[in-house]
């Protein structure tokens, strides 16, 4: 009997969205003698895998699930659930969100939930199912990190310990063994700049993702990533990461084996601690000078603003920026979160040590070094007042005029496991659904609701019809322009909010910026 692992392709996430975690679990199962198939619904031929499931080829069918795209995932999984029921296969679900709210996913109709790293639990679960006689109930008590139901009772098996050795094996030893799955190789060679982007050279390189550590040192109130493993493995779960030499070895391996010359380092915060970043950059620079790595090799990472500040002066640390630029970091994504210091200090943000002036000085310093800045920020923080919204909309224009990449979210998404998720001070908009797997109703939180009545009403209008109507209007105004290009769409979204809140001077500035962007896109043939 075999294992089938599924995920659902979501175009909104990223073009290279194949589920690397499932490929790693698949490799782990196969290297331990277990037959395993993997299918990403929407990209692969799921009908072929469904046919095998209906023929009883799988004893275990697992889904990698999220919270944001849950409705789509449940609908896609339904035919596999029906096949599993007919053939007495076990269905399980895993991922960060199910790990933090296992009982919720059991109520949706899954037989079990895998919490945390899935490699060892999936292997043990598959072995138990394989060794269970036909028609008998499997004894699931020994499967680590499994939450399961027996009748009306829910059992949560103890988690396996997460050790530095296991982390190293999964992210270094086994990563090299697995290499780059064939399904990715054509995508890597076609990773060309998107139309309409003024500075997208980082996309022109072949790209591959690296995971070098697992724990973010911050405690942002809206985020559940930092406490994910603590919830699974306990409060004493230490912070693990690869050594500089191991990361360098991975980079060299992917370059010499596959010709990869661009790496997207997917850690929550690669630049903490600075010492690690400095050592990594110096070794990369040395290898480039010796000709062991190509000069054009480039890197992209995520970071926090405070990682780039001098501890004494609280001003941008130019030395670390210059070093990263020399090593090939052509783009850095800064988790700004909000330009209003008042909002940064709210519990849902919990960001200290910087303000609007510091953020802008850091972005200008990166611009002077020709480092493309990715700026992630959220507008309608629950405590935001109209002036806070205005400041962030103004900064959107400033960032884009500096040729930065602005990732602007008009609201804060509600995620299970975050500090704010069950906090009564932060009510969230909810929606009611019915799980297609078992017909049970469930309630899902969507985004947090602003406290200020004007901001709350403006966001409701934005979500209900404002953006859609504005995009349709600009399609008519600029028939030969792709108005949903990222920078153009950002300006349109900002215009909707500014106009609804009565920021007349900002509306005029945004209209000029939209005209300039439309002219640029038209000139580029977009």
d(CA 423, CA 501): 28
Rounded to whole angstroms, the Cα distance separating 469 from 428 reads 25
- pTM for this one? 0.90
Nearest-angstrom CA–CA distance, 257 and 275: 29
Residue 103 CB: number of other CB atoms within 10 A? 12
Q: At the top level of CATH, which class does the domain 164-379+405-419 belong to?
A: alpha beta
Q: How far is CA 347 from the centre of its chain?
A: 22
* Helix (H/G/I), strand (E/B), else coil: 510: helix
Query: Which residue has tokens 């603590």?
Result: 230
Quick one: pLDDT at residue 82? Answer: 98
Task: Give pLDDT, residue 266.
Answer: 84
Determine contact, residues 339/369, Cβ cutoff 8 Å. no
Distance of CA 470 to the CA centre of its chain: 28
User: Are the C-beta atoms of 123 and 132 separated by less than 8 Å?
Assistant: no
**Under 8 Å between Cβ of 526 and 482:** yes
Beta-bridge partners for 338: none
Separation of CA 341 from chain center: 25
Q: At what angle do helices 318-327 and 274-289 cross, to 10 degrees?
A: 40
Query: pLDDT by residue (tens digit) across 186-226?
Result: 667 654 444 444 444 444 345 788 988 876 777 888 988 76
Collect all residues with Cβ–Cβ distance below 8 Å to 59 and sequence separation of at least 6.
1, 2, 3, 89, 90, 126, 129, 130
2-146: what fold? Rossmann fold (3.40.50)
pLDDT value of position 207: 75
| Helices first, then strands: H and E counts in the chain | 20, 15
Q: Whole-angstrom Cα distance, residue 187 to residue 371?
A: 25
Q: What is the pLDDT of residues 218-227, one digit of tens each?
A: 788 898 876 7
Q: State the Cα–Cα distance between residues 158 and 503, nearest whole angstrom.
A: 55
Give domain limits for the chain.
2-146, 164-379+405-419
Q: Going by DSSP bridges, is the β-strand pair 441-448/298-304 parallel, antiparallel, or unpaired?
A: unpaired
| Angle at the Cα of 412 from the Cα atoms of 373 and 416, rounded to 5 degrees | 115
In order along its 526 residues, the chain shows pLDDT tens digits of 799 999 998 765 444 457 888 999 999 999 999 999 999 998 889 999 999 999 999 999 999 999 999 999 999 999 999 999 999 999 999 999 999 999 999 999 999 999 999 999 999 999 999 999 888 899 999 999 999 998 889 999 999 877 888 889 989 999 999 999 888 876 676 544 444 444 444 443 457 889 888 767 778 889 887 677 777 887 666 677 899 999 999 999 999 999 888 898 888 888 877 889 999 999 999 999 999 999 999 999 989 999 999 888 888 999 999 999 999 999 999 999 999 999 999 999 999 899 999 999 999 999 999 999 999 999 999 999 999 999 999 999 999 999 899 999 999 999 998 989 989 999 999 999 999 999 999 999 999 999 999 999 999 999 998 899 999 999 999 998 899 899 999 999 999 999 999 999 999 999 999 999 999 998 887 5
């Amino acid at each position: 009997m075999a294992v089938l692992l599924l995920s659902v392709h979501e175009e909104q996430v990223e073009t290279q969205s194949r589920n690397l975690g499932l490929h790693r679990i698949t490799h782990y199962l196969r290297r331990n003698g277990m037959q395993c198939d993997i299918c990403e619904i929407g990209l692969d031929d799921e009908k072929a895998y469904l046919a095998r499931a209906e023929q009883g080829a799988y004893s275990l069918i697992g889904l990698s699930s999220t919270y944001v795209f849950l409705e789509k995932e449940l609908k896609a999984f339904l035919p596999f659930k029906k096949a599993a029921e007919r053939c007495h296969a076990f269905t399980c679900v895993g991922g960060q969100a199910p790990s933090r709210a296992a009982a919720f996913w059991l109520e949706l109709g899954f037989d079990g939930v895998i919490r945390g790293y899935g490699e060892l639990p999936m292997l043990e679960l598959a072995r138990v199912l394989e060794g269970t006689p036909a028609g008998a109930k499997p004894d699931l008590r020994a499967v680590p990190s499994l939450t399961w139901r027996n009748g009306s009772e829910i059992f949560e098996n103890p988690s396996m310990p997460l050790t530095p050795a296991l982390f190293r094996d999964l992210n270094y030893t086994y990563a090299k063994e697995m290499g780059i799955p064939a399904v990715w190789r054509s995508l890597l060679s076609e990773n060309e700049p998107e139309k309409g982007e003024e500075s997208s050279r980082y996309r022109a390189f072949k790209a591959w993702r690296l995971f070098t550590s697992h724990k973010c040192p911050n405690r942002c109130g809206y985020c559940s990533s930092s406490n994910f493993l603590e919830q699974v493995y306990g409060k004493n779960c230490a912070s693990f990461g690869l050594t500089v030499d191991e990361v360098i070895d991975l980079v060299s391996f992917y370059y010499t084996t596959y010709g990869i010359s661009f790496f997207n380092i997917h850690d929550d915060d690669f630049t903490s601690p600075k010492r690690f970043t400095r050592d990594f950059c110096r070794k990369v620079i040395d290898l480039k000078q010796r000709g062991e790595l190509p000069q054009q090799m480039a890197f992209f990472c995520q970071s926090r603003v405070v990682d780039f500040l001098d501890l004494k002066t609280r001003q941008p640390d130019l030395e670390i920026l210059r070093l990263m630029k020399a090593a090939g970091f052509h783009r850095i994504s800064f988790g700004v979160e909000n330009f209003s210091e008042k909002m940064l200090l709210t519990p849902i943000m919990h960001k200290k040590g910087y303000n609007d002036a510091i953020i802008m000085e850091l972005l200008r310093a990166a611009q002077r070094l020709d480092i493309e800045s990715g700026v992630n920020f959220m507008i309608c923080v629950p405590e935001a007042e109209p002036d806070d919204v205005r400041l962030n909309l103004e900064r959107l224009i400033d960032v884009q005029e500096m040729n930065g990449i602005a990732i602007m979210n008009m609201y804060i998404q509600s995620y299970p496991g975050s500090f704010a998720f069950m906090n009564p001070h932060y009510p969230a908009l909810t929606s009611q659904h019915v799980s297609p797997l078992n017909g049970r109703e469930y309630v899902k939180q969507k985004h947090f609701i602003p406290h200020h009545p004007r901001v709350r009403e403006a966001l409701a209008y934005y979500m209900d019809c404002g953006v859609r109507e504005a995009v349709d209007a600009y399609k008519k105004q600029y028939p030969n322009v792709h108005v949903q290009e990222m920078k153009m769409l950002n300006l349109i979204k900002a215009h909707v909010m500014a106009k609804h809140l009565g920021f007349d001077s900002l509306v005029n500035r945004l209209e000029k910026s939209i005209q300039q962007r439309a002219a640029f896109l038209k000139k580029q043939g977009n």
